[in-house]
Amino acid sequence: MNDGVSVDAVLDREWNLLIGGRLVPAASGHRYADESPVTEAVIASVPDGNEADVAAAVRAAEPAAAAWRRVPARERGALVAELAGILAAHARELALLDAIDGGHPVTGMLGDIDIAADALRLFAGLGIELKGSTIPATAANLHLTVREPFGVVGRIIPFNHPIMFAAGKIAAPLVAGNAVILKPPESAPLSALRMGELFSGVLPPGVLSVVVGDGPATGRAVARHPAIRRIGFIGSDATGRSIQRDAAGAGVKDITLELGGKNALIAFPDADPDEVAAGAVAGMNFAKSAGQSCGSTSRLLLHESIADDVLERVAARMTGIRVGSPLEPATEMGTLSSRGQYDKVLRYIRAGRDEGARLVTGGARPPGLTDVPGLYVAPTLFRDVWPDMRLAREEVFGPVLSAMTWKTEEEAIRIANAVDYGLTASVWTNDIRRAHRAASALEAGYIWINGSSRHFTGVPFGGVKLSGVGREESLDELLSYTQLKTINVMLGEPG
């Protein structure tokens, strides 16, 4: 790993799109200024791609996809596995890019690269599972199914884990035999653009394109292109629904969406207060993403008998989080990712105060960071939050934890399910029957019992309600990038 790389060194390059195996500027020649949330200064001039660049990527991808699908699945997997090694070899460089470009702690980004490499290796080894089945529909004939790739697919990823999503989310569609057009976040595009450059030496030209532009135009072009019939999106529910509308205007497309969350952690009276507090803080994902995570358990639902004890411990843990420059190895939590995110979080903090919630800790810039650049907000805890408050209903997508109390199990479940989202949930109890009863009643796609935050290799992840459709991080994701074809061979009974 190239540990000696500096921030100045990784930024000192001309940034280009990857289209058809070539590094190119935007067709328009336009570029946009990419600002760092750490320095609040421009750090890169990025190609401002648009519909013309997406169209060029599709023109390159269509013949590439036709050839790529004919490569045996295990050989495609072997090439994808090579990408994991490239990530590891350039881990320090890519982690620094996410730190300066997205505000995420460099140590956490090294962990994200490990996760992305693990995803590449997982799907590289699952290619042999791209199999169909035979159906004994008749005695005399042969009835079978086969799985085939879509052709050209689009992946649109968010800003909260830039390199993890850029690398990890192309694995399944590539192994399934598709060509991928990756659209990175415009506020943190650098690691994905660099990744495209690195990967272009392994994948055939056109199999992977990386196209970014300032604003929604590039993502909308991906959704609207008639040749892109499969799209995977991670982001807000509003943008996800916009993608569905745009895609419907261009044809009938297969779309999976991993969207927002307003996730509940429910702690029953028999749970250990210290374990609950540790789980609540871990579940907020303050480290790595400053709470900018769709899976964060941002609603803390405590039985009234343990609420004071748990909240005292939560507050102590939150005030102990090391907030600072994401470039420092000891930093646990960096900045918010953009000025827009920063202003949005502060608006929600003001709304919490205005609606009568009690601020326990945080709510402003951290001590010691008041007179330096950087979009810092201290880990923030509110208590005495009521279910009808905005803090209890709307996704903040930042380092703000809202605590509520309840008296009965039925009330806890009702509060947990009273939002439009359903991504994750966490249940803390030592009663196994109660744990399963609560997990069954909760409207969420991914549930922990006596745990939070962690994802597990091969375990399907995804939500219900406004939190999306489809499942990822598993065999389900790989198969979702294929179409099932049925073949009936008439051997004994002519059709």
Q: Which is catalytic among the residues 14, 62, 93, 258? A: 258
Active site residue 294: yes
Q: Say what the pLDDT of residue 492 is.
A: 86
Instruction: Please give the pLDDT value at position 2.
Output: 42
Q: 270-294: b or e for each residue (b if 16 or more CB lie within 10 Å)? A: ebbbebbbebbbbbbbbbbbbbbbb
Length of the chain: 495
Return the structure tokens found at 424.
């994750």
Give the CA dihedral 484, 489, 493, 495, nearest 10 degrees.
Answer: 70
pLDDT tens track for 329-361: 999 999 999 999 999 999 999 999 999 999 999
Regarding pTM above 0.85, the answer is yes
Catalytic option among 294, 395, 473, 477: 294
Identity at 211, one-letter amino acid code: V
Q: From CA 273, how far away is CA 270, in angstroms rounded? A: 9
Burial of 447 (0-12, 13-18, 19+ CB in 10 A): middle
> What share of the chain in percent tops pLDDT 70?
99
Full pLDDT tens readout for the chain, 495 residues: 346 789 999 999 999 999 999 999 999 999 999 999 999 999 999 999 999 999 999 999 999 999 999 999 999 999 999 999 999 999 999 999 999 999 999 999 999 999 999 999 999 999 999 999 999 999 999 999 999 999 999 999 999 999 999 999 999 999 999 999 999 999 999 999 999 999 999 999 999 999 999 999 999 999 999 999 999 999 999 999 999 999 999 999 999 999 999 999 999 999 999 999 999 999 999 999 999 999 999 999 999 999 999 999 999 999 999 999 999 999 999 999 999 999 999 999 999 999 999 999 999 999 999 999 999 999 999 999 999 999 999 999 999 999 999 999 999 999 999 999 999 999 999 999 999 999 999 999 999 999 999 999 999 999 999 999 999 999 999 999 999 999 999 998 665
Instruction: Give the pLDDT score at 493.
Output: 64
Is residue 210 within 8 A of residue 192, CB to CB? The reply is: yes
CA distance to 115, 283, 291, 293, 294, per residue, from 453 (Å): 14, 5, 11, 10, 10
Q: How distant, in Å, are the alpha carbons of 179, 298, 323 from that of 349?
A: 43, 13, 18
d(CA 109, CA 97): 9
Q: What residue has token string 């109390």?
A: 405
304 a catalytic residue: no
Tokens of 409: 């199990």
